Amino acid sequence: MTEQTSYFFWDLGQYLLNGIAQGSIYALVALGYTMVYGIIRLINFAHGEFYMVGAFVGLFLIQAHLPFLIALPLAMLGSGLLAVMVERLVYRPIRKAGKIQALITALGVSLLLQYLGQNLLGADPRPFPDALENKTYMFGELMISKIQIIIILTTVILMGALRYLVMHTKIGKAMRATSYNLEAAELMGIDTNKVISFTFFVGAALAGAAGVLVGMYYNTVEPMMGLIPGLKAFVAAVLGGIGVIPGAVLGGLVLGVAENLVIGFWVSTYRDAIAFAILIIILLIRPAGLLGRNTREKV
Amino acid sequence: MKTCASVLALLCLAIPLSFAAAPKGEIKVGAVFPMTGPSATFGQESVNGMKMALTSINKKGIKGQSIKVIFEDDKGEPVEAANAVRKLITIDKVLTILGSVASSNTLAGAPIAQEAKIPLITPASTNEKVTMTGDYISRTCFTDDFQGVVMAKFAFETLKKTRAAIIVDNSSDYSKGLTKVFREKFTSLGGTVVGSSDYAYQQKDTDFRSLLQKIKRENPDVVWLPGYYTEAGLILKQAREMGINIPFLGGDGWDSATLQKLAGPEGIKGNYISSHFSSEDKDPMVQSFVKEYTKLYKQAPGAMAALGYDAVLVLADALTRSKSLSSEDIKQAINSTTNFQGITGNITIDKNRNAQKSAVVLETTATGFVFKQKVSP
Amino acid sequence: MDLVSYFGPLLQNAGVFIILALGLNLINGIAGQFSLGHAGFWAVGAYVGASYGAFFAPAFLPDFVNLLISNVLGIIAASIAGVLVGVPCLRLRGDYLAIATLGFGEIIRIIINNLDVVGGPRGFTNIPHWSNLFWIYLWVVLCIIMLANLLRGTHGRAIISIREDEIAAAAMGINTTKYKTLAFVIGAGMAGLAGSLFAHAQQFIHPSSFSFMWSVIILLMIILGGMGSMTGAIVGAVFLTFLPEFLRLCGETVSEWRMVIYSLLLILLMLLRPQGIFGKHEFNLKRLWPSKGGAK
């Protein structure tokens, strides 16, 4: 193999690695989207803001010298609680109204949180302090940083925990039942309101974790940071099949890798466009997503 | 309909109240600077310098009148800069405008000022195109034609580097202009620019690892990074983390104390920039400015502060020489400024309405920018 | 005379937004197709108009002729974009349509951001100043007349029926695809017109002025006024154009919280009065004072 070709493969490997790290973050956020959509058919536009709040809570805790392993769960808690509050105050009353109303309301909440953040915290990006010394490990020409390892590990652990929660606990069963058919679940005695609030909590907690990880990975946080990643995570959820939990993970990884391949082999300025392009292609070719089930509309 | 009418009615009542007539003896000047946003330190420093100059000028006034400056924040965005210029002209009715810092932002507002025939002086925008907008637009700093050449020569002749990689900020006219000048000079001196195209990023980007990876591949011995400090700092940090230890060179866009914080201890070492001013300059005028500024603002002045200070002094000088307060005369006076001794050097506005001034090359260190050499045009 | 120079640019902006709101109202309110990418069409019209003005406009033509050409080019370009976006997207329903149009709006913005020739991320500066109050409002009036005629005719009724119940309309033999696309393309064309007028009024345009956030602001205008009501769209557009100025007069701090106020407004509207001020109806004197035996 010539040096050029070997470099090509090392580079490809690097982009794949970067893509998996980034994709893990998308996956964590996408999980929240997909869970909420699965249960109440709402695209929670404000989900990106739960991610942002998690990042900021993490920032403040780490600035206060709390170790990463304590800051992370606390940030997750913060996001989760915010989500429950939003759900109770805004989404629950709107649930009976039309889908479009709900969508617009979610948009409103998203904007509200972003701009509140801007006004209260300042629009400027803040540097994220180094919570863990960053080290890089080389495997040949492949470079993996400690942070990337932590991101992938954290994501795997959280996803495992989620799977256990959904598949092997009572509340998980309740979540699955409610997402399958809300009225039937209610008739079976499930307190759907509680289940829905819990779903919001878990989804937002995952997003909050992603926010902290992102703060560490990119070294900056700012109030508008949730907008684009939020949209991309939504694309990931749709790509994998909205409402399907493993789909969110798959979608997130695919999106992360695709984005990094675009950056690597084309121009980084089109990195956001690839997400939207994938969205449109998927909606046109296979709207149910890669792992989704197709539901026909009955008249 | 009713909502519309009532809002309009309220507005009509409120407007006259906000139009307080300027008290007699005041010359209204507008200022557009980035007080918030990514390059906020540039705006804040410029305004600090300007306020210092204003206090000293208004002690005596200009022909009995004091200068009143109306400050607008362009948030580092061209749309805001254009809106700010328009507002200052149509609502505040200023006689001249000072600003902004980033060339892209000045370029957004300059055509509006030119069309309205209001003179606009930029203290810090270095891209060629700014003054080409028209005869009402001038600048009191050097241009990128000069700055890019200074750094290309520094890289080749002083640092003895022959393979340069270029990282450009695609969202900045300044960066693109400087890139072009550097590439031309560097290659004409005998150096090579690596890579099939420039490595581009945009403002507000935070992850440059893939970009740096591609550069590492090409094995350059120096990197030209004519961007703003917010991204430059992150790039320096990530580069060192990736084992890229060659010197990075930049322009006056790096000149901010925030650079050290963003770049980290590893990132800040061993890089050089060109700028307008060094606080180590032994000239007594400069030293007295540095002392006064540090006393007032509790930190050492950077280039932007010095430029802001000089711009106000140049304007005041022009207003003194001007035959009247008509925009035509003010423009005339500004454009004929000759041999004005400012703290950033001798300022003469040439026929292209640019100032021919010398540049300084500074080294970036953890404690600040250290003077390396001075280069005259 | 101070008031003229103060209100002038504001009224021009209001006019531009009225046209945008009317266009979006046609798509979202009257045809019931939830589009979140309106700013994309606005951008296409603005950049095409600006390009004509900066690169191709012959100097010997009087300003208003040039403006006319620029506007027509903007309408055509945006309409073509409308077809390209509409054909794939209008097959989708509700949420999915919204997200797909959002995606397209963003793609358009990102492409423009990458086009160096129109300034890309640095913006497009030095656009000739051809717009003025008269021409903008002339176009506003033309748009209103055009829409009113459309809606009173067969085509208009077909479009409305799609909003009311798409499946029933299809069952009645209405070519829903054709009418959805028609409404979409007309709305897009109007956005393009607004774009060209906007570019020649502002003299500087930048991709950030056409972001998703702006699609949301236009949406807020028609929601406030009432989705489906032309009067509502006009009122909403004027209100939301004047509101930031009004807030600015209330002081610096209130002005900074403008976007927070908007988002609260959006949420409260959805919770308390989702139909906005006029709902689906037009301004009608009979509604204000219901009289005995009056038709409602």
Q: Tell me, what CATH number does A139's domain have?
A: 1.10.3470
Q: For the segment A191-223, what is each residue's pLDDT rounded down to a tens digit? A: 989 999 999 999 999 999 999 999 888 878 888
* Confidence label for B150 from pLDDT (cuts 50, 70 and 90): very high
Percentage of chain A modeled with pLDDT above 70: 97
Predicted local distance difference test score (pLDDT) of residue A145: 83
Mean pLDDT, residues C218-222: 92
Contact B115 C283 (CB under 8 A): no
| B326–chain C Cβ distance below 8 A for any pair | no
Contact C209 B79 (CB under 8 A): yes
Residues β-bridged to residue B274:
B361
d(C-alpha B46, C-alpha B98), whole Å: 10
Does residue A295 lie in a domain region?
no
Contact C110 A272 (CB under 8 A): yes
* Confidence label for B12 from pLDDT (cuts 50, 70 and 90): very low
Q: Are C102 and C212 in contact (CB under 8 A)?
A: yes
Long-range contacts of C112-117 (CB under 8 A, 24+ apart): C112/C43, C112/C47, C112/C207, C112/C210, C113/A269, C113/B202, C113/C207, C114/A267, C114/A269, C114/A270
Q: Across the interface, which of A41, A115, A299 has its CB nearest the CB of C263?
A: A115
Mean pLDDT, residues A97-105: 83
Region of C32 (left: φ > 0; alpha: ψ -120 to 50; beta: rest) is: left
Predicted local distance difference test score (pLDDT) of residue C246: 79
Does residue A291 lie in a domain region?
no
- Please identify, in words, the CATH class of the domain defined by B145-275: alpha beta
| B22–chain C Cβ distance below 8 A for any pair | no
Work out the minimum CA distance from A15 to partner chain B, whole angstroms. Answer: 8
d(C-alpha B224, C-alpha B148), whole Å: 10
Angstrom CA distances, C274 to A102, A284, C223, stand at 10, 31, 7
Q: Residue A36: how many CA atoms within 13 Å on its side-chain side? A: 31
Mean pLDDT, residues B101-111: 92
Q: Structure pTM? A: 0.85
Higher local confidence (pLDDT), C141 or B80: C141
Does residue C140 lie in a domain region?
yes
Does residue A26 lie in a domain region?
yes
Check pLDDT > 90 for residue A143.
no
Q: For the segment C131-147, what is each residue's pLDDT rounded down to a tens digit? A: 888 999 999 999 999 99
Q: Are B152 and B182 in contact (CB under 8 A)?
A: yes
Element (H, E) at A241: none
Mean pLDDT, residues B195-211: 81
What count of CB pairs under 8 Å joins A to C? Answer: 106
**Is residue B97 classed exposed, middle or buried when 0-12, 13-18 and 19+ CB atoms within 10 A define those classes?**
buried
Among B97, B107, B109, smallest CA distance to B128 is for: B107
Check pLDDT > 50 for residue B5.
no
| B105–chain C Cβ distance below 8 A for any pair | no
Predicted local distance difference test score (pLDDT) of residue C126: 84
Predicted local distance difference test score (pLDDT) of residue A243: 80
**Contacting residues of A for B214, CB less than 8 Å apart:** 264
Element (H, E) at A177: helix A170-180
d(C-alpha B123, C-alpha B142), whole Å: 9
* Confidence label for B295 from pLDDT (cuts 50, 70 and 90): very high
Average pLDDT for chain A: 87
Check pLDDT > 50 for residue A187.
yes
* Confidence label for A295 from pLDDT (cuts 50, 70 and 90): low
Q: Are C279 and C223 in contact (CB under 8 A)?
A: no
**Contacting residues of C for A103, CB less than 8 Å apart:** 34, 95, 98
User: Which of C263, C265, C275 has the most A C-beta neighbours within 10 Å, making it the best mutation to test the interface with A?
Assistant: C263
Predicted local distance difference test score (pLDDT) of residue C290: 58
Does residue A299 lie in a domain region?
no
Predicted local distance difference test score (pLDDT) of residue A1: 58
Higher local confidence (pLDDT), C54 or A131: C54
d(C-alpha B141, C-alpha B121), whole Å: 10
* Confidence label for B18 from pLDDT (cuts 50, 70 and 90): very low
Q: How many other CB atoms are there within 10 angstroms of residue A15's CB atom? A: 20
Domain locations in chain B as residue ranges: 2-142+280-357, 145-275
Does residue C276 lie in a domain region?
no
Mean pLDDT, residues B247-255: 93
Sign of CA dihedral A227, A229, A233, A236: positive
Check pLDDT > 80 for residue A60.
yes
Predicted local distance difference test score (pLDDT) of residue C289: 62
Higher local confidence (pLDDT), C23 or A121: C23
Predicted local distance difference test score (pLDDT) of residue C107: 92
Q: Are strands B96-99 and B26-33 parallel, antiparallel or unpaired?
A: parallel
Check pLDDT > 50 for residue A146.
yes
Counting the structural domains of chain C, the total is 1
Work out the minimum CA distance from A156 to partner chain B, whole angstroms. Answer: 23
| B229–chain A Cβ distance below 8 A for any pair | no
* CA angle centred on C123, ends C122 and C129, rounded to 5°: 145
Contacts of A29 (CB under 8 A, 6+ apart): A47, A48, A51, A206, A207, A210, A229, A230, A233, A236, A252
Check pLDDT > 80 for residue B23.
no
Contact B79 C121 (CB under 8 A): no
Predicted local distance difference test score (pLDDT) of residue B2: 47
Predicted local distance difference test score (pLDDT) of residue C285: 60
Residue found by looking up tokens 């939504």 in the block = A234
Q: Residue C258: how many CA atoms within 13 Å on its side-chain side? A: 16
**Contacting residues of B for C238, CB less than 8 Å apart:** 4
d(C-alpha A242, C-alpha A250), whole Å: 11
Check pLDDT > 60 for residue A296.
no
**Contacting residues of B for C203, CB less than 8 Å apart:** 82, 111-112, 115
Predicted local distance difference test score (pLDDT) of residue C292: 53
* Confidence label for C296 from pLDDT (cuts 50, 70 and 90): very low
Does residue A297 lie in a domain region?
no
Chains with at least 3 CB pairs less than 8 angstroms from chain A:
B, C
Predicted local distance difference test score (pLDDT) of residue A208: 95
Q: Which amino acid is at C147?
A: L
Predicted local distance difference test score (pLDDT) of residue C4: 67
Q: Across the interface, which of B200, B206, B214 has its CB nearest the CB of A219?
A: B206
Tell me the residue length of chain A.
299
What count of CB pairs under 8 Å joins B to C? Answer: 81
Query: Which domain range does residue C20 map to?
Result: 14-210
Does residue C256 lie in a domain region?
no
d(C-alpha C291, C-alpha B104), whole Å: 61
Collapsing DSSP to helix, strand or coil, B71 comes out as strand
Work out the minimum CA distance from C194 to partner chain A, whole angstroms. Answer: 24
Percentage of chain B modeled with pLDDT above 70: 94
Q: Across the interface, which of B204, B205, B210 has its CB nearest the CB of A18?
A: B210
Predicted local distance difference test score (pLDDT) of residue B120: 95
* Confidence label for C284 from pLDDT (cuts 50, 70 and 90): low
* Confidence label for B189 from pLDDT (cuts 50, 70 and 90): very high
Element (H, E) at B273: strand B271-275
Average pLDDT for chain C: 87
d(C-alpha A208, C-alpha A77), whole Å: 8
Chains with at least 3 CB pairs less than 8 angstroms from chain C:
A, B
Mean pLDDT, residues B285-312: 92
Predicted local distance difference test score (pLDDT) of residue B21: 46
Contact A269 B37 (CB under 8 A): no
Contacts of C272 (CB under 8 A, 6+ apart): none
Q: Across the interface, which of C9, C206, C283 has its CB nearest the CB of B79?
A: C206
Angle in degrees, 0-180, between the axes of helices C38-51 and C212-225, rounded to the nearest 10: 120
Contact A269 B237 (CB under 8 A): no
| A123–chain B Cβ distance below 8 A for any pair | yes
Q: Which amino acid is at A269?
A: T
Q: Are B170 and C207 in contact (CB under 8 A)?
A: no
Among A263, A275, A27, A13, smallest CA distance to A159 is for: A27
Angle in degrees, 0-180, between the axes of helices A227-240 and A99-121, rounded to the nearest 10: 150
Contact B172 C122 (CB under 8 A): yes
**Is residue B298 classed exposed, middle or buried when 0-12, 13-18 and 19+ CB atoms within 10 A define those classes?**
exposed
Check pLDDT > 50 for residue B17.
no
- Please identify, in words, the CATH class of the domain defined by B2-142+280-357: alpha beta
Region of B93 (left: φ > 0; alpha: ψ -120 to 50; beta: rest) is: left
d(C-alpha C256, C-alpha A151), whole Å: 37
Query: Which domain range does residue A268 map to?
Result: 3-122+131-285
d(C-alpha B98, C-alpha A256), whole Å: 45
Contact B91 C239 (CB under 8 A): no
Average pLDDT for chain B: 87
Higher local confidence (pLDDT), A132 or A181: A181
Predicted local distance difference test score (pLDDT) of residue A294: 63
Lowest mean pLDDT among A69-78, B8-17, C256-265: B8-17
Predicted local distance difference test score (pLDDT) of residue A299: 47
Predicted local distance difference test score (pLDDT) of residue C1: 41
Work out the minimum CA distance from B173 to partner chain C, whole angstroms. Answer: 6
Chains with at least 3 CB pairs less than 8 angstroms from chain B:
A, C
Q: How many other CB atoms are there within 10 angstroms of residue A285's CB atom? A: 7
Cα nearest neighbour of C232 on chain B: B1
Work out the minimum CA distance from A200 to partner chain C, whole angstroms. Answer: 19
Residues A193-231, buried b or exposed e (16+ Cβ, 10 A)? eebbbbbbbbbbbbbbbbbbbbbbbbbbbbbbbbbebbb
d(C-alpha C198, C-alpha A237), whole Å: 37
Collapsing DSSP to helix, strand or coil, B222 comes out as strand
Contact C122 B19 (CB under 8 A): no
d(C-alpha A290, C-alpha A79), whole Å: 29
Contact C242 B91 (CB under 8 A): no
Contact C256 A93 (CB under 8 A): no
d(C-alpha B170, C-alpha B209), whole Å: 17
Q: How many other CB atoms are there within 10 angstroms of residue B95's CB atom? A: 19
Q: Across the interface, which of B1, B3, B14 has its CB nearest the CB of C249?
A: B14
Residues β-bridged to residue A220:
A127
Collapsing DSSP to helix, strand or coil, B345 comes out as strand
| B296–chain C Cβ distance below 8 A for any pair | no
Does residue A175 lie in a domain region?
yes
Contacts of C128 (CB under 8 A, 6+ apart): C53, C54, C57, C63, C66, C200, C203
Q: For the segment C66-87, what is each residue's pLDDT rounded down to a tens digit? A: 899 999 999 999 999 999 999 8
Work out the minimum CA distance from A54 to partner chain C, whole angstroms. Answer: 20
Instruction: Tell me the two tokens of residue A277.
Output: 């392009």
Counting the structural domains of chain A, the total is 1
Q: Where are the alpha helices (DSSP H) in B62-118?
A: 78-90, 103-116
Angstrom CA distances, A119 to A106, A111, A114, C262, stand at 20, 12, 9, 14
Contact B90 C202 (CB under 8 A): no
Q: Across the interface, which of C126, C204, C283 has its CB nearest the CB of B78?
A: C204
Angstrom CA distances, B259 to A208, B38, B47, B372, stand at 29, 12, 19, 18
Q: For the segment A124-135, what is each residue's pLDDT rounded down to a tens digit? A: 778 787 766 677
Work out the minimum CA distance from C92 to partner chain B, whole angstroms. Answer: 33
Mean pLDDT, residues B319-341: 90
Start-to-end C-alpha separation, chain B:
64
d(C-alpha B62, C-alpha B93), whole Å: 19
Predicted local distance difference test score (pLDDT) of residue B223: 94
Predicted local distance difference test score (pLDDT) of residue A43: 86
Lowest mean pLDDT among A54-58, A124-128, C108-112, C209-213: A124-128
Check pLDDT > 50 for residue B16.
no
| C2–chain B Cβ distance below 8 A for any pair | yes
Cis check for the bond before B197: say yes or no (omega within 30 of 0): no
Q: For the segment B51-68, what is each residue's pLDDT rounded down to a tens digit? A: 999 999 988 888 888 899
**Is residue B61 classed exposed, middle or buried when 0-12, 13-18 and 19+ CB atoms within 10 A define those classes?**
middle
